[in-house]
Structure 1
Amino acid sequence: MPLSRSESRQREKRDHRRRRAFQLSMIVAGSIILLTGVGVAVNQADGLPDWLGGNGASEELAVSSPSPTRDAAGGVAASASPDAGTETPAPEPAEDGAVEQPSDGGGGTDERVGLSFVGDMLPGEYIAPIMAQNGYDFPYQKALLYLSVPDLMIGNLELPITTRGTPVEGTPYVYKGSPEALSAMRDAGFDIMSLANNHALDQGVEGMRDTMRHLTEAGIGYMGVGENDKEAFAPLIREVKGIKVAFIGVSGVIPFVEMKADSHVPGIAETYETTRATASIQSAEEQADIVVVMVHWGKDGKDTPENYQRNMARAYIDAGADLVIGSHPHVLQGFEMYKGKWIAYSLGNFVYASYPKGQLAETGVLDALCGKDGDCELKFNPMLVIQSQPTPLEGASAEALLSRLSSISIGAEVGSDGAIVGK
């Protein structure tokens, strides 16, 4: 029986991921053998900007290529199953508002699904000259194995993808990205993008609709915007290994009230208060095993959450959320466990700026290994953005970033291996 277009695309993507992971693991292994054989010591800080310890700075920055597999006890295990990472394009809301994807054929009761998250993604604007010179895939190259291993890879898309649109007036920053950037994002491993943020309508409703269309054509799912509030608040549901995961996108940062999605108004799912968000969570809980809320909130540049963030996160969990993943502050914030469920208040910038400094350069990939009961084990893989590339850290540099994250977490500790545990 011939495969459907959707099934064919799923198989093609799985095969592509396996080939890419194998090729990269061979490169990493070959590099290690070569360096070991000739006894070469590599100073990876050479040629870096002086604020990163390059150009003769006395303290060497330790960065590394990611391991071709990751420890399942501490995060997302490398998947050898041909069914891992199932994805289908063109999500369409059902009558109840949910967007559901077919099962990938798994279903064991002991199965766990690997979900990984990054912060703000801006594949354009500030890094456009670098991508024009090096290709749209350039920002992902150093972190590629961390992006391709999880069953589902999720981020926050911080700009409209369109060649048209009318720039919004009255806001300090107005963004726009090329549709050509999406194939590289998809091939790097990204499956889902939240569009619920303050830049979703930077190019008006036309730009928002183009973004939705281009993501669908690229085979990347989305949530958090729509032609009305029913669509905007609708969960995107994916099934992997027999486990249904619902993703909801909401924003507490919207420039103008008319950008909020309503019954007859296209726009963004808002969470200035929690009524509609919690209703969406409760509906999703009835349809899925795991509910993930992606929320845009907080104060720009502040590495600890505001009180309202903590209150909202708890309201989401009380309503049935299993994971709450935040963005918008552009810096990393800490973690908190509440009633056995995890909150990541901000994952900072991931692909955003070319030469960010200080805390703006700190980033990483958050792994969540979750069972069907919604219980998740978390691990944070620390990275630093160098010339627009999130670059894995190792040694003292990794431990320093993880230690700082631990110090700003609430009732939680981040170990030297990145594992996050409750106190």
Structure 2
Amino acid sequence: MKTLLKRFLLIAFCITPIVVLINHSFTSKATDKPDFQNKSSKTASKSDKKIEDPEITLTFSGDTMFDWQLRPVIEKNGADYPFQHVKEEITKADISFVNLESAFTTKEKKAPGQLFWIKSDPSTLQAIKNTGYDIVNIGNNHTLDYGQNGLLDTISHVEKLKFPYIGAGKNAKDAYTAREMTVKGKKFKFLSFVRFMPDFTWVADDNKPGVANGYDLNLVTKTIKEQKKDADYLIVYMHWGVEKSNRPVDYQKQYVNKMVTAGADAIVGSHPHWLQGFEYYNNVPIAYSLGNFLFPSYVNGKSAETGVLTLTFKGKDVQMSFNPYIIRNNQVSPVNEEEKRKALQYLQTISTDVEIDDTGKIINKRN
């Protein structure tokens, strides 16, 4: 009996540590679970961390041509000469845009109904490429100065240099189709409409080259809505307003409201040949007119005042800035500090609810 009791105590003594170890083992797995969850939580936190939106810059330049008194200057100095002071600023942007206020053709037959006809040598388009421009507007009231054949010539020469073009086309589908450019993973689309032209024969249709009609606001907003669907940003360029006026007129304000509601992320304009002011409408930047950019040096005063508009996109935020230049010596020429100060102060007086600082940054005061 004593021997049996000794054996029982010995077995109990040996088994107890094993049970304790086994129990500890299971307990340890249970207490590891929160640690595992924490690790998972950290991993999820890293994967859920918002990727910062890239900063993307676009520049815009106004009315540009290579005709009239510019022809002998270009023959002497080359077509790159007018842009030598602005090239660095244009080149460093992610996308640079310019309005071609001219037909680029060798055709001679002029279209009826014009007071002035503008025709540039097609070879000068290479200077637009060399300066760093990426996309061109060909929709304005000089697009068809040399008829439909002149427009088709312009398109052909632009295509040879692989420029996307907007504002006009070989037919209606071409004229109203936005051009796409993707930068840093963001898709930009560009549209352009003409709200000033000699007559409605200039409008593109299914079987005829011409411009995109900006007089039909319903068509404009419908096109914006359709083209915005798969875009991160949609830029609308308008040829509109009143010549030699420094302020927009009432219909332009109505257009801004409708175009922004339809999905425009920025609106930039031309036609007045003068600079006009800036505003933000529902945080969307509006530049009503960029004026002349490259015109012969005979232009003076407000017609010679020009500059480069920069739009900086970062997520839903879009900011404007403006760097003044002047048309001088048949070039887009830099201004001195006093000229810059006066130019920015003047733009402040004709803009709405913005503050333009001494660097040219245009700050939204409606926020």
Q: TM-score range by the shorter chain?
A: 0.7 to 0.9
Q: What residue in structure 1 maps to residue 361 of structure 2?
A: 419
Q: What residue in structure 1 maps to residue 331 of structure 2?
A: 389
AA aligned opposite 2:327? V
SS at match of 2:260: helix
What are the equivalent positions in structure 2 for 1:269-308 lying under 5 Å apart? Answer: 269-308=212-251
SS at match of 1:272: coil
Name the structure, 1 or 2, with higher relative contact order (CA <8 Å, separation 6+): 1
Alpha-carbon distance, 1:269 to partner:
0.2
- Rounded to whole Å, the distance in 2 between the matches of 1:412 and 1:264 is 45
Q: What residue in structure 1 maps to residue 340 of structure 2?
A: 398
Tell me, yes or no, if the aligned pair for 1:303 and 1:334 is still in contact at 8 Å: yes
Alpha-carbon distance, 1:303 to partner:
0.5
Alpha-carbon distance, 1:372 to partner:
4.2
AA aligned opposite 2:176? F
Q: What residue in structure 2 maps to residue 261 of structure 1?
A: 204
Tell me, yes or no, if the aligned pair for 1:163 and 1:178 is still in contact at 8 Å: yes
Instruction: Name the CA shift for 1:165/1:152 in 2 (closer, same or farther; >3 Å).
Output: farther
Is 1:407 aligned to residue 361 of structure 2?
no
Q: 2:318 aligns with which of 361, 367, 376?
A: 376
Q: 2:182 aligns with which of 239, 250, 253?
A: 239
- Rounded to whole Å, the distance in 2 between the matches of 1:394 and 1:179 is 33
Report Cα offsets for 1:32-76 as digits up to 9, x if no partner. xxxxxxxxxxxxxxxxxxxxxxxxxxxxxxxxxxxxxxxxxxxxx
Tell me, yes or no, if the aligned pair for 1:381 and 1:392 is still in contact at 8 Å: no
What are the equivalent positions in structure 2 for 1:14-413 lying under 5 Å apart? Answer: 109-164=52-107, 166-373=109-316, 375-413=317-355
Unaligned runs of 5+ in 1: 1-107
Instruction: Name the CA shift for 1:165/1:249 in 2 (closer, same or farther; >3 Å).
Output: farther
SS at match of 1:125: coil
Alpha-carbon distance, 1:109 to partner:
4.6
Q: What residue in structure 1 maps to residue 3 of structure 2?
A: none
SS at match of 2:299: coil
Q: What residue in structure 2 maps to residue 86 of structure 1?
A: none
Report Cα offsets for 1:282-341 as digits up to 9, x if no partner. 112112111100100111110111111111122111110011000000010000110010
Alpha-carbon distance, 1:150 to partner:
0.5
Taking only aligned residues, the RMSD between alpha carbons, in angstroms, comes to: 1.3
**TM-score, scaled to structure 2:** 0.83
AA aligned opposite 1:264? N
Instruction: Name the CA shift for 1:237/1:165 in 2 (closer, same or farther; >3 Å).
Output: farther
SS at match of 2:159: helix
Tell me, yes or no, if the aligned pair for 1:298 and 1:305 is still in contact at 8 Å: yes
- Rounded to whole Å, the distance in 2 between the matches of 1:257 and 1:297 is 15
Q: How many residues align?
A: 315
Q: Which has the higher helix share?
A: 2
Unaligned runs of 5+ in 2: 1-50
- Rounded to whole Å, the distance in 2 between the matches of 1:383 and 1:123 is 18
- Rounded to whole Å, the distance in 1 between the matches of 2:296 and 2:286 is 25
- Rounded to whole Å, the distance in 2 between the matches of 1:287 and 1:239 is 12
Alpha-carbon distance, 1:409 to partner:
0.2
**TM-score, scaled to structure 1:** 0.72
- Rounded to whole Å, the distance in 2 between the matches of 1:388 and 1:144 is 15
Which moves more between the two structures, 257-266 or 328-337? 257-266
Instruction: Name the CA shift for 1:242/1:165 in 2 (closer, same or farther; >3 Å).
Output: farther
SS at match of 1:220: coil
